Structure 1
């Protein structure tokens, strides 16, 4: 659906046989309705000091983060920045007036020169506390994102939102070289109150846009829809990001196809595998109608 952007699936004017031949529309809506990643009937205690606002999708988020690092090693030059997943209904949505997408879920990303997302973290508010540490500042966010590349001599680029002399000192101790802009009023400047700006502006401009590059590619064929809940909206973004990372991994191995072609082949392969699985399952008898399958789905839930 990311290749065929439309406002509705119900208008005959936008009818496309490919979708109907793959899955009945009502079944798709039912699957989307009942798509959950945790047991909502047993939520964690909100008064718990270690309460995680992302608990409904935390397992998938952490699993993807681990796989990104396990299957790919980033290039020498890295960039850390924030992106906004457009959404207004979540309990941890952010308003960022300087961004094109002003309302949404804020995600901090560490990307390399190809645009591959190597690590990420969702902003959950100042009260978020993990079992091991509390992340309340941009300083801590950067240290969290670079944990898996410490001691390898990477070069990291960031803007003034993250930069501070204290952070640069910490990163240097971890054998990570840093380049970025900095605000004059940022704490930790010289005695005159003016921060010292680096003179490698050309180098900064050449490498700072890695996260923006990744975000543009992710949104090129995005599957998200306005009516989805916060967890589903975030899941759709993670799914698009995972497909992009898979494509960039293919490209790094001298793959020649385009991003769009890669996604199209992926879709057809998934449909083919699904049909093979159903054929094997139906060897014991006649398959039931799609309407009966939807009715059973409603009964179960």
Structure 2
């Protein structure tokens, strides 16, 4: 559900949901929560009804009637599963259709992505349902990116960043690129791998000082300060510009380099 209580032609009310009022979205998700596809409910015309070939119906009764639709699995082959019997006050073994077993093994993906979306959701006080929907799908894209990133890091045996820190770094990167005038990845941003002398960073990037921090680099020999006019050597490097700048009693080139 996309939370929205304003006027909208396809707004729905679904009791039992954390946000019962809003735009309903049908989601296809992997067990990890990674969203593979989605369709926004648009009324009766959302899904076109066509006559399927080879349709069959099979009935199975649990504690309550269960209705399922599957194009891959049916009742057979069945297995047994332990369930609590209210009548006998004990656990009993009951037969379980294949479709139910596959559903239980792969369920939870949509609930997982809903939980992730509820963390650090984009806040917007708007009466336009279109704006709310766009913000929701921005959040969905970021959540999907983090889930894929987490999976890749675990595959490599490395610890992934936490979701909040991932979003902060993403926002910082987008702001930095915008202030530096970078609109897209191009050949102009490419640095040859064997180039020893790195070019000076863009002026707008240099002056965005909130994310520039000095770092002491553990190297055998000191490097010459990159500020124009300074011939000192230093082990201090800017974490953003990746250039060496001296910090000493004689002169603070690090501060002067990042000041207009």
- Which fold has the larger relative contact order, with Cα–Cα distance below 8 Å and residues 6 or more apart in sequence? 1
By percentage of residues, which structure has more strand? 2
By percentage of residues, which structure has more helix? 1
TM-score (ref. length: structure 2): 0.49
TM-score (ref. length: structure 1): 0.43
